Structure 1
Amino acid sequence: MTRGVSAALALCLFTTGCVAGTSSGSAAPAADQPFEGEVEFWTINLKKNYSAYIEGLIAEYHKQHPKVTLKWVDVPGQESATKLLAAVASGDVPDAVNITSLDLGRFAPSLKPLDDHFKPEELADFQANLVEPLKQDGKLYAVPWYNGGAPVAIYRKSVVTKAGFDEKAPPRTYDEALTLAEAVYDKTKVYGTNDIPGISAVNVLRYYGIELLSADGKSAAFNTDQAVRVLERFRKSYDQHGIAPGAVSKDVRNFPQTLENGQLAFSASTFAATLLNIQKNAPEVYKDLVVTEPVQTSTGGYLLSAQQAFAIPKASQHQKAAAEFIKFFTNGTNQLAFCKIVPIYPSTISSTKDPFFTGGGSDDPMVVARQVIVKGLAKLEYNPLGTGKDAELGELLAEEIRGFLSGTKSAEEALDAAEKRWNDALV
């Protein structure tokens, strides 16, 4: 798996993929009459690498429903939101659409609430903490599919132990992680971490309990005295090389100091796909890794950046048939099969009971990571900004933090600038 593919899957940062649908406009069958015809469903960025898996599901579904034909459309992520908007505007929509949770808010008005199609007992196998965020005003607009899993912490044991690291008592907060990072550099001259500002500047502030938006969601709320203190803590660690110098690079997928190239000691919160890249590109480093639970929020949980889900557009003429297909496509057995071929994690509880996730007896980092991640799934907290511009806002904040760490502005100036840029974007 390439670095780009694994990172995209693990971080779940796809956007919704959609193209023109094939709804005929004919009346839907009666409730007690089995559907006969074509159901079109759309996915995002899966065809190139996972055609065999999807086509296998299509064949199995056809065996169970011989009078139903499934049409699969897969769309590049960079085109997906635009195509969905066009499909909704034209009324020519898919019957079932793979949508990222980041896009759910802006598309919800054009989606069919699923409560009539998914009874509580049919949702019982899904992690409740993954279902709830897909509701708006008490109505369910999508059902969970897969996600990047709970984060893990990855340490180069031969390096961090020289600074007093105990894998049975790893850092529980970012402050503790930064203290370790500074000690590592002091003892070994290996840079500590590049987690900050990294790809999750927004999430890092949330781990400190800092609210990002006002209650009405119309303005920034993070410009506080506490945030100033947090940024100054970052700067202290950056100056002492606890945060690696390359962490101020905008290209977060190609930091100059990494675990792979041996210039970094650890990541206190990352995704399992990182392990696959290290295993492939730096096998000697991989052998030196120890995996533990990551840093936690003030409530003892972990933040989920996004999740993949399935929804049904209001304009679909085959909503009941689409719902039945989604139930099959996202069931525990099929999610487990998908997780075995790509480093993603299921939304179904039954999938996590399989020995693939629970099997012990090995200190292989990837095996340990799966156990840590499954243990953490129930602790995942998904609280998107819900602005429709979440990714843009995150980058604006990260840019200002990078400027602060580089010494071009004070913490107050960085937060003032970030606040103004957020408020301008939220207008």
Structure 2
Amino acid sequence: MMILTALVVLAACGAPVTPPPTQVVRETVVVPQTVVSQQTVVTQQTVVVPQTVVVPQTVVAQQTVVVQPTAEPNPEAIIEGVEPNAEITFWTFYLSPTFDQYIQDTLTRFQTVYPGVKVNWEDHQATFQDDLGNAFAAGRAPDVINLSVSEDRVSDYARKGLLLSLDDKVPPSVKNLYFPGLWNQQIVDGKNYQFPWYQGLNVELVNMKIYSDAAGLQLEDFPTTIAGLPALCKTIKDKTSTLCAVRLTTNDLLAQMVHESGVKVISADGKKFTFDSPEAVAWLQMYVDMVKAGTVDKTVLVTDQDRVGLDLFTSGNAAFFQTVPNSIRQVRANNPGLYGYLATVPAPVGKSGVLGKGLMSISVKQDTKFPKASIALAQFFTNPQSMLEFSKIVAIYPSTPKSYDDPFFAAKPVAIEDSAKPIARDILSRYADIVPPIPEKADVNEIVLQAVQAALFNNVPAQQALTAAVTQANALLAQ
């Protein structure tokens, strides 16, 4: 608001008046006014004759002018051309009721940024995949869908033509908000079908009472690569008689081969499995040697339950265990005496340099009536602000580098539970989806698991076990 101030200048009586200079400001209203001044005139007879002189003068009157500031564009409104009066449906996976408030608050913000868009939110849980498959079959699938990247749901639905390709629908400025490795995951025929959402990450949780006090090891010397684990486990076993809680990814062994040893598990055309190469054999032999040396817990090694290894660590019977940072709270609750001996280090990486692929994403169905509104919602839930707010209420990690500039992540951690926050940006920057599509993935993984177990526990040579598994898997492809 601008206030314009008026000045009224009157001439002094009894002397010649020189009119003051006119004062003009913005929004000036000129009001004519007569000012009467007496002046003395001297004649030869020295007669004093009173005379009136009329002096015109400008008076600036006071006036109030209200100036409306120009509205600044909302920095979160980055999708243009959103359809007016759009009504869309959004499905999430296992978020209600725990995160109802967060979802509702984010939807309120969204509708402030994109007014006129109505969103119907539904959360599906154990029956999510069945519900979604049935919805697609019936032609009533949701417009915006929370899909698992870790389970390859995005690529599965994209290959069926059910999801909207995003590369030509959003500007480069939107793509650049995300870690490149996370944006370029689940690519099908060179196209992206997902906005990366919340992520998880693993760290090595270390029991310093065993690792340092008993084994005499320094935390800064913890191996940064998978290749360093056998020697570490031997040292710990020799000095403390404690076994290592190392765990295979039994539900996706081909991915583990790719990440840890750079194994080419299938031919470029996807028609022939090749995971019995020298690189694959060397990968399996490393684990066979640890079993034979008696340095690893056999049960933990091949379990598909994270809880088994975590329980061993929590009981004080393992020097380290790779898990999510949130597990520290469980350790503290179940063994408070161990809490003071805990430390964390980044999980070691394999030859690929890749730590894994993403966890969750948001996609848009291919035939939505409101593609712009649906894209806007998917992007809004995955933007830096929305994911930062989500991170503050649960131990998840954003897909957007900008989120990590906030003190919530950048500040020096006080509690061990927060020790992953300052290193999360670096860890997430090394996520990528480098595993090629695997036909008949579940069946092939079961074949590989049986071969690996035969080599680990039944003295079957690694080369023989893997070659037999490749033969079985290729026969499966030929059917």
TM > 0.5: yes
2:270 matched to which residue of 1?
A: 217
Q: In structure 1, which of residues 371, 391, 394 is the aligned counterpart of residue 422 of structure 2? A: 371
State the Cα distance separating 1:414 from its structure 2 match: 2.6
The yes-or-no answer on 1:271 pairing with 2:324 is yes
Matches within 5 A, 1:209-248: 209-248=262-301
Matches within 5 A, 1:19-418: 34-76=83-125, 78-101=126-149, 102-108=152-158, 109-149=161-201, 151-161=202-212, 162-196=214-248, 201-206=253-258, 207-255=260-308, 258-267=312-321, 269-304=322-357, 306-360=358-412, 362=414, 364-387=415-438, 389-390=440-441, 393-407=444-458, 409-418=460-469
- Rounded Cα–Cα distance in structure 2 between residues aligned with 1:46 and 1:57: 13
RMSD: 2.5
1:8 matched to which residue of 2?
A: none
Q: Which residue identity lines up with residue 57 of structure 1 in the other structure?
A: T
Residues 421 and 55 of structure 1: CA distance in aligned 2, closer, same or farther (over 3 Å): farther
Q: Which has the larger radius of gyration?
A: 2
For the Cα contact (< 8 Å) 2:86–2:373, is it kept in 1?
Answer: no
State the Cα distance separating 1:248 from its structure 2 match: 4.8
Q: Which residue identity lines up with residue 90 of structure 1 in the other structure?
A: A
State the Cα distance separating 1:322 from its structure 2 match: 0.7
Task: After superposition, give the CA deviation of every residue in 1:130-157 in whole Å (9 maximum; x if it has no partner).
Answer: 11124333332111111113x3222211
Give the TM-score, by structure 1 length.
Answer: 0.83
Deviates more, 1:115-124 or 1:413-422: 413-422
Deviates more, 1:258-267 or 1:33-42: 33-42
Q: Which residue identity lines up with residue 103 of structure 1 in the other structure?
A: R
Q: Which residue identity lines up with residue 273 of structure 1 in the other structure?
A: N
Residues 299 and 106 of structure 1: CA distance in aligned 2, closer, same or farther (over 3 Å): closer
State the Cα distance separating 1:289 from its structure 2 match: 1.7
Task: After superposition, give the CA deviation of every residue in 1:87-131 in whole Å (9 maximum; x if it has no partner).
Answer: 223222211111222112221122111234311112221111111
Matches within 5 A, 1:416-427: 416-427=467-478
- Rounded Cα–Cα distance in structure 1 between residues aligned with 2:458 and 2:472: 20
Residues 357 and 389 of structure 1: CA distance in aligned 2, closer, same or farther (over 3 Å): farther
For the Cα contact (< 8 Å) 2:207–2:319, is it kept in 1?
Answer: yes
Residues 46 and 395 of structure 1: CA distance in aligned 2, closer, same or farther (over 3 Å): farther
- What fraction of aligned residue pairs are identical, expressed as a percent? 24
The aligned length equals 392
Task: After superposition, give the CA deviation of every residue in 1:274-299 in whole Å (9 maximum; x if it has no partner).
Answer: 33332332333232122112212224
State the Cα distance separating 1:37 from its structure 2 match: 3.9
Q: Which has the higher helix share?
A: 1
Residues 121 and 64 of structure 1: CA distance in aligned 2, closer, same or farther (over 3 Å): closer
- Rounded Cα–Cα distance in structure 1 between residues aligned with 2:386 and 2:461: 51
- Rounded Cα–Cα distance in structure 2 between residues aligned with 1:288 and 1:201: 32
For the Cα contact (< 8 Å) 1:44–1:75, is it kept in 2?
Answer: yes
Deviates more, 1:284-293 or 1:179-188: 284-293
- Rounded Cα–Cα distance in structure 2 between residues aligned with 1:219 and 1:281: 48
Task: After superposition, give the CA deviation of every residue in 1:387-420 in whole Å (9 maximum; x if it has no partner).
Answer: 3654554454234323322226332343134324
Where 1:97 maps in the other structure, the secondary structure is: strand
- Rounded Cα–Cα distance in structure 2 between residues aligned with 1:208 and 1:32: 46
2:32 matched to which residue of 1?
A: none
Where 1:345 maps in the other structure, the secondary structure is: coil
Runs (5+) with no aligned partner, structure 1: 1-30
State the Cα distance separating 1:219 from its structure 2 match: 2.8
State the Cα distance separating 1:223 from its structure 2 match: 0.8
- Rounded Cα–Cα distance in structure 1 between residues aligned with 2:188 and 2:121: 28
- Rounded Cα–Cα distance in structure 2 between residues aligned with 1:195 and 1:281: 21
Residues 205 and 57 of structure 1: CA distance in aligned 2, closer, same or farther (over 3 Å): same
- Rounded Cα–Cα distance in structure 2 between residues aligned with 1:160 and 1:32: 58
- Pick 1 or 2: higher relative contact order, CA cutoff 8 A, min separation 6: 1
Residues 183 and 338 of structure 1: CA distance in aligned 2, closer, same or farther (over 3 Å): same
Residues 67 and 371 of structure 1: CA distance in aligned 2, closer, same or farther (over 3 Å): same
